């Protein structure tokens, strides 16, 4: 049981990191960025390629990987989001354009094979790979019948540290204040002299960078990097987390992440592995029916 709680804490951190990206964009733009899971995967894939195919150290590769994700955030903004804002399109159109971009990103990695057009990005095609075993020191400790693995343990403080920094930025810096203003009321913000477009772009870039970090940590700790890691279950779980925590609330996403991890693991232990995913989603459904604003979401308009 103790081991399962540890599992929950670890996966909760990943969910939280991943969901924060979603919630940032939703809070500011009222849009679900469905390319986020593809960016998550891209972070892991690019870092892996740099380490294995280009012989970089992990640190250099990770920094470049995160940078690649940040750049992809720019792509998302300029290709998928801004043109639609200009045309005053309904938010649901942005859903579709981000789906299109996600399709392209996943396909590009999936078709990365020796000799293909995308071989510079990735050469393992649809396969699952892992970082070279001795790339980072990764001792495992057995304490009180529990197994503690260094990379998994490290994910928790990294996540919390990032969230604290993010929280500080949002609450206390000028950028953060601008962000909250845009989230509250974009027209008023622009009348006050804020460059709304720039704020939005920065938000998407920040969100994507965080997604990239989550992806790299995921690939590192779970020994699994493939074109499908974002899409498969992380995407819907990310949605579940922001619902639980409240859309647009960063602390909500963090708490929601750990909460979902715990719910899943408890359901597993209590009800068995067959039904536990179903239980988690049923819980989600109930939450939405009974308290749609989530734990931390205030009524409708207050966001970050």
Partner 1 sequence: MKRERIILGLLAVLVLAACGTTSTSGGGGNSYAGKTIKLGAILSITGAGGVYGPQSRDGMNLAVNEINKAGGVNGAMISLTVNDDASDKAQSARLAQTMIEQDQDLALLGPTLSNSAVGVHPLAESLKTPILAVSTTGIHIVPDCNFPDTTPCKYVFRDSLGEETAIPDNIKSYVEDKHPSTGVLLVAQDDKFSSDGGTIVQNTVGQYGITLLATIKFSKTEADLSPYVTQAVQKKPDVIFITSLGGIPAKIMTEARKQGWTGQFLGGNGFNTATVSKQAGADGKGARSASAWYIGNTFTSNAAFVSAYRAAYSKDPDQFAAQGYTGIKILADAAKRANLTFSDLAGDRDKLRAAMETVNIDTPLGPFQFTSDHDVKQTVWVIAMDGQGGFTLVHEIKAS
Partner 2 sequence: MDFILQLFNDPVAFYQTHTLLIAEIGINSILAVSMFVVLYSGQLSLAAPGFMAIGAYTSVLMGNYWNTPLPLNLLVGTLFAGVVGLAVGLPVLRVRGVFLAIATIGFIEALSLGVILNLPITGEGLGLKNPTADPIGGINIVLGSVAVIVFVLWRLTKGRLGRAWEAIRQDELAALSQGIDVGRYKLIAFILSALIAGFAGGLESHLNFFVDPTEYGVTRTVQVLTFAVLGGSGNVFGPVVGALFLTTLPEIVRVPNFDYRDVISGAILILVIVFRPQGIVGRGGLAIIRPRWWPKARSAASPG
286 C-beta neighbours (distance < 10 Å), count: 10
285 binds, among partner 2, partner 1, none (CB under 5 to 8 A by kind): partner 2
**Cβ-contact 303, 176 below 8 angstroms:** no
To the nearest 10 degrees (0 to 180), the angle between helices 250-271 and 276-290 is: 140
Q: Tell me how far, at minimum, the Cβ of 115 lies from partner 2, in Å.
A: 11
* Count of positions on this chain that bind partner 1 (CB under 8 A): 42
Query: Given candidates 92, 104, 126, 282, which one binds partner 1 under the rule CB under 8 A?
Result: 126
CA 213/CA 43 separation, integer angstroms: 7
Which of these segments, 107-115, 133-141, 155-163, 188-196, binds partner 2 (CB under 8 A)?
107-115
Distances (CA, A) of 83 to 38, 98, 260: 21, 12, 35
Query: Given candidates 57, 104, 120, 188, which one binds partner 2 under the rule CB under 8 A?
Result: 104
Which of these segments, 76-84, 105-113, 179-187, 199-207, binds partner 1 (CB under 8 A)?
105-113
CA 40/CA 98 separation, integer angstroms: 14
Phi, psi of 57 (to 5 degrees): -75, 160
The mark string for 258-297 relative to partner 2 (x by CB under 8 A, - otherwise) is ----------------xx-xxx-xx-xx--xx--x-----
Strands (E), the chain: 140-143, 146-149
Query: Given candidates 97, 208, 226, 249, which one binds partner 2 under the rule CB under 8 A?
Result: 97
95 binds, among partner 1, partner 2, none (CB under 5 to 8 A by kind): partner 2
Q: Element (H or E) spanning 201, and its range?
A: helix 196-222
Q: Count CA atoms within 13 Å of residue 235 on its CB side.
A: 17
**Residues engaged in binding partner 2 (CB under 8 A):** 26, 32, 34, 79-80, 83-84, 86-87, 89-90, 92-93, 95-97, 99-104, 106-108, 110-111, 116-117, 235-236, 239-240, 243, 247, 274-275, 277-279, 281-282, 284-285, 288-289, 292
């Amino acid at each position: 049981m103790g081991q399962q709680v540890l599992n929950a804490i670890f996966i909760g951190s990943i969910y939280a990191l991943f969901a924060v990206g979603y919630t940032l964009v939703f809070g500011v733009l009222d849009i679900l960025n469905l390319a986020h899971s593809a960016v998550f995967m891209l972070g892991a894939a690019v870092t892996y390629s740099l380490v294995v195919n280009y012989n970089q150290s992990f640190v250099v590769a990770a920094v470049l990987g995160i940078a690649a994700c940040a750049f992809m955030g720019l792509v998302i903004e300029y290709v998928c989001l801004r043109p639609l804002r200009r045309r005053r399109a309904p938010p649901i159109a942005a859903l579709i354009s981000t789906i299109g971009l996600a399709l392209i990103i996943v396909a590009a990695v999936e078709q990365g094979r020796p000799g293909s057009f995308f071989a510079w990005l990735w050469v393992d095609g649809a396969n699952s790979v892992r970082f070279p075993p001795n790339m980072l020191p990764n001792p495992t400790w057995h304490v009180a019948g529990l197994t503690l693995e260094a990379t998994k343990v490290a994910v928790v403080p990294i996540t919390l540290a990032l969230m604290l920094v993010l929280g500080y930025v949002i609450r206390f810096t000028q950028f953060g204040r601008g962000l909250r203003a845009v989230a509250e009321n974009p027209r008023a913000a622009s009348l006050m002299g804020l460059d709304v477009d720039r704020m939005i772009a920065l938000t998407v870039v920040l969100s994507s960078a965080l997604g990239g970090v989550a992806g790299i940590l995921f690939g590192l700790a779970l020994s699994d990097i493939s074109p499908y890691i974002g899409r498969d279950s992380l995407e819907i779980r990310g949605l579940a987390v922001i619902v639980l925590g409240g859309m647009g609330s960063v602390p909500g996403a963090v708490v929601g992440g750990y909460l979902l991890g715990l719910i899943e693991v408890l359901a597993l232990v209590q009800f068995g592995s067959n039904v536990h995913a179903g239980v988690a989603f049923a819980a989600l459904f109930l939450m939405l029916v009974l308290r749609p604003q989530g734990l931390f979401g205030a009524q409708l308009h207050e966001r970050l």
